[in-house]
């Protein structure tokens, strides 16, 4: 990729571009690894929010998809007749969400998580009179300190609660681990599984996730299923970690230089409304392809500021492609993405599951 | 505001709430100051992106509105028959945007900015055969180091270029100044106006902006018009600067506690997809109303992590109201906001100008 592709440059800016040939290659690469290690793949669609890419992941061999909220799952299911198995990796609470969850479960195979008894009670009340039981996995904290029970013993206790709750069936164990935590996942999950099986309860799925460590997913041999998200597009944070190269980044932001107010400063028409303020520990808000010497040092909502040590060598009207720090959050900013195949823009896709927060 | 209003708590979470009575009071407060100091008010609608609130600002006495992009202006004009005077404070480039700008100029009184000759040439080409000339202001850099010409002499040179360009008329001077820069604005603008008037060109408008310094706007006596944006809602960054109090914050995020995985840690269902990662120099991502002891220390897309030194005293299902660091960017995350009047939810408004990036 360079900054001189004339056809791509005809797109009105700022725009989010998806190089679909690169995304296809990224999907195939991890699927091959997973197939080799007998791991099921259940991609997290938060990165693309597009039914069409969900279908590409299923065609490649994924067993289903992962969503984070009920509304996101609704949008994905509505957008594709091929999305028939959905895991919502979130504690779901509240009558409106539970009603929508039950309606969704009448259409597709559905599973969710719980890390506390309040969530289990709510799910059970909503599913007790439904035609099919809801699969509920126990979320486990293996070091990320977000959601999840803290110990294998707590996981086993919740598994028992789920197993005996009307309308529910115990679906297994799930974690969103910190990076490079294969050993922690292996220890926690093996122990929890042993405790649960000792109670006569089967553990059908042990689900882990995260793109940075995905090519080592098999190190935690207890894992049966993996949920990578960002791998489909990759981003600057993953390049900086050494997980991929710029050539593997399928999502870029196309921007136009709107002002060159000083010899070493230029302003582009992409700001935090496109690139977002996510830093992920990095300096600057994105990488200008082909211009390692430029720092994107400041964002307003509609302005991005580029600075260089020497003359910046840009003129008003120039177009640049930027790899954002974090692909997933950029997807969520825009109503549509421009699909590019082998450097040619071919179609614009509405981002069906954008902004689905409930 | 407390965390115990039962009617507000019926809204499905996460949700962006707008206390319309507070917004009305905020609008009236600055309009009264401006009226007293003979300043025109032209609010920046980036903060609310709602035609209905634009109408409230006009009813209070605003002379028109400010938008940042052509698409944002289109959405505002389409949303209200009362929005008839729009200033787009951005360098506009490219044939598609220029065509849309010309179409908009046939409907409402329109003005834009330029800080370079390339933009002026593009605007002139687009408006040379239009029925009405386009007002173009020169954007001046008074210290923010974003867009804008660097010296009054450069401003005067561009004013001359605009004045002689077919289809354009010189509309005045505009700046987005750094905070507390009244003297810098006064010096730059007075000097630029003198140089321009010496060429026989009138300077009809000198436009400044920014909520943090708005109650000192009259210190730069040269200013004729002020463009506050965030003042309509206020936010945590403005409270921390001492510009307003929590009671003046009209935009809040309602969130539900979905997990209490440790005695001093709780997880809410609002993450960066609602609150955004904007820090604006602060520690943490928002203020929990009524709970000064809690730090919102980490966001994922759909999770917000709350930590406290002692026991956090929250249970799964509790609802909290959060003042975000930056109100404008939160507005842009959601398709609708829930309008609350005197603590009662009364209506949901679609955010008409959300996601308008081009």
Give A130's contacts (C-beta < 8 A, 6+ positions apart).
Answer: A102, A105, A106, A167
Scanning B56-115 for CB atoms below 8 A from A yields 68-69, 90-91, 93-94, 96-97, 115
Q: How far apart are CA A124 and CA A118, in angstroms?
A: 10
Nearest residue, CB atoms, B355 vs list A317, A335, A358: A335
Scanning A23-52 for CB atoms below 8 A from B yields 46
| pLDDT score of A182 | 87
CA distances from B344 to A126, B5, B136 (A): 28, 8, 44
Q: Does B261 touch chain A (CB under 8 A)?
A: yes
| pLDDT score of B6 | 81
Give the rounded distance of the alpha carbon of A48 from its chain centre.
Answer: 7
Domain of A274 in residue numbering reads as 8-17+236-350
Residue B301 lies in a domain: yes
Question: Cβ B12–A358 below 8 Å, yes or no?
Answer: yes
Rg (CA), chain B: 22
Strands B295-299 and B304-307: antiparallel
Q: How far apart are CA B219 and CA B294, in angstroms?
A: 38
Residue A2 lies in a domain: no
Q: Would you say the C-alpha torsion A306, A309, A314, A316 has a positive or negative sign?
A: positive
Give residue A6's pLDDT band: very low, low, confident or very high (50, 70, 90). confident
Give residue A3's pLDDT band: very low, low, confident or very high (50, 70, 90). very low
Do A216 and A302 belong together in one domain?
A: no
Chain B CB contacts of A12 under 8 Å are: 94, 96-97, 358
On the question of pLDDT at A308 being above 60, the answer is: yes
Domain boundary residue among A180, A202, A232? A232
Do A89 and A221 belong together in one domain?
A: yes
The label of the residue with tokens 């890419």 reads A53
* Total domains in the fold of chain B: 2
Question: Cβ B301–A118 below 8 Å, yes or no?
Answer: no
The 10s digit of each residue's pLDDT in A186-210 is: 999 999 999 999 999 999 999 999 9
Question: Cβ B91–A316 below 8 Å, yes or no?
Answer: yes
CATH number at residue A254: 2.40.37.20
Do B75 and B172 belong together in one domain?
A: yes
Give the rounded distance of the alpha carbon of A312 from its chain centre.
Answer: 35
Angle at alpha carbon of residue B201, lines to B198 and B204, rounded to 5°: 115
Do A70 and A204 belong together in one domain?
A: yes
Do A132 and A179 belong together in one domain?
A: yes
Q: How far apart are CA B175 and CA B189, in angstroms?
A: 9
CATH number at residue B149: 3.20.20.10
- To the nearest whole Å, the CA of B65 is away from the closest chain A CA by 17
Give the rounded distance of the alpha carbon of A3 from its chain centre.
Answer: 27
**Count of positions (residues) in chain B:** 358
Q: Does A348 touch chain B (CB under 8 A)?
A: no
- Short-list A265, A67, A341, A91, CA closest to B260: A91
Question: Cβ A14–B358 below 8 Å, yes or no?
Answer: yes
- To the nearest whole Å, the CA of B349 is away from the closest chain A CA by 15
Q: ipTM of the predicted structure?
A: 0.96
| pLDDT score of B1 | 42
Domain boundary residue among B232, B251, B278? B232
Residue B67 lies in a domain: yes
Residue of higher predicted confidence among B199 and A1: B199
Do A93 and A166 belong together in one domain?
A: yes
Do B272 and B332 belong together in one domain?
A: yes
- To the nearest whole Å, the CA of B102 is away from the closest chain A CA by 17
Residue A285 lies in a domain: yes
Do A150 and A219 belong together in one domain?
A: yes
On the question of pLDDT at A227 being above 70, the answer is: yes
pLDDT tens by residue, chain B, 358 residues: 444 458 999 999 999 999 999 999 999 999 999 999 999 999 999 999 999 999 999 999 999 999 999 999 999 999 999 999 999 999 999 999 999 999 999 999 999 999 999 999 999 999 999 999 999 999 999 999 999 999 999 999 999 999 999 999 999 999 999 998 889 999 999 999 999 999 999 999 999 999 999 999 999 999 999 999 999 999 999 999 999 999 999 999 999 999 999 999 999 999 999 999 999 999 999 999 999 999 999 999 999 999 999 999 999 999 999 999 999 999 999 999 999 999 999 999 999 999 999 9
- What are residue B75's DSSP bridge partners? none
Q: How far apart are CA A263 and CA A255, in angstroms?
A: 19
Mutate to test the interface with A, among B101, B112, B254, B259 (most CBs of A within 10 A): B259
Do B165 and B195 belong together in one domain?
A: yes
Domain boundary residue among B232, B254, B277? B232
Question: Cβ A90–B302 below 8 Å, yes or no?
Answer: yes
Task: Look up the pTM and report it.
Answer: 0.97
Strands A336-341 and A344-350: antiparallel
């Amino acid at each position: 990729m360079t900054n001189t592709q004339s056809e791509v440059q005809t797109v009105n800016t700022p725009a989010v571009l998806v190089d679909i040939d690169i995304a296809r290659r990224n999907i195939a690469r991890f699927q091959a690894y997973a197939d080799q290690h007998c791991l099921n793949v259940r991609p997290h669609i938060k990165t693309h929010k597009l039914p069409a890419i969900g279908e590409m992941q299923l065609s490649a061999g994924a067993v289903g998809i992962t969503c984070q909220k009920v509304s996101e799952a609704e949008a994905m299911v509505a957008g594709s007749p091929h999305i028939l198995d959905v895991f919502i990796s979130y504690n779901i609470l509240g009558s409106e969400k539970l009603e929508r969850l039950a309606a969704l479960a009448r259409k597709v195979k559905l599973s969710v998580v719980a890390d506390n008894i309040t969530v289990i009670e709510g799910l059970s009340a909503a599913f007790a009179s439904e035609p099919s039981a809801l699969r509920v996995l126990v979320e486990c904290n293996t070091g990320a300190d977000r959601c999840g029970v803290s110990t294998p013993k707590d996981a086993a206790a919740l598994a028992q609660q789920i197993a005996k709750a009307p309308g529910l069936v115990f679906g297994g164990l799930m974690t969103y681990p910190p990076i490079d935590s294969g050993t922690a996942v292996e220890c926690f999950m093996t122990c929890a599984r042993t405790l649960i099986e000792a109670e006569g309860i089967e553990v059908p799925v042990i689900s882990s996730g995260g793109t940075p460590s995905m090519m080592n997913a098999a190190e935690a041999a207890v894992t049966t299923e993996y949920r990578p998200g960002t791998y489909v597009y990759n981003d600057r944070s993953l390049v900086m970690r050494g997980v991929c190269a710029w050539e593997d980044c399928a999502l870029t932001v196309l921007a136009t230089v709107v002002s060159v107010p000083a010899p070493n400063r230029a302003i582009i028409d992409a700001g935090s409304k496109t690139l977002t303020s996510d830093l992920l520990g990095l300096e600057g808000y994105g990488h200008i392809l082909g211009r390692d010497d430029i720092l994107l040092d400041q964002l307003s909502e509609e302005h991005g500021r580029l600075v260089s040590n020497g003359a910046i060598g840009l003129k008003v009207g120039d177009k640049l492609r930027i790899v954002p720090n974090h692909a997933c959050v950029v997807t969520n900013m825009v109503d549509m993405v421009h699909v590019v195949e082998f450097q040619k823009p071919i179609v614009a896709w509405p981002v069906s599951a954008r902004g689905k927060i409930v």
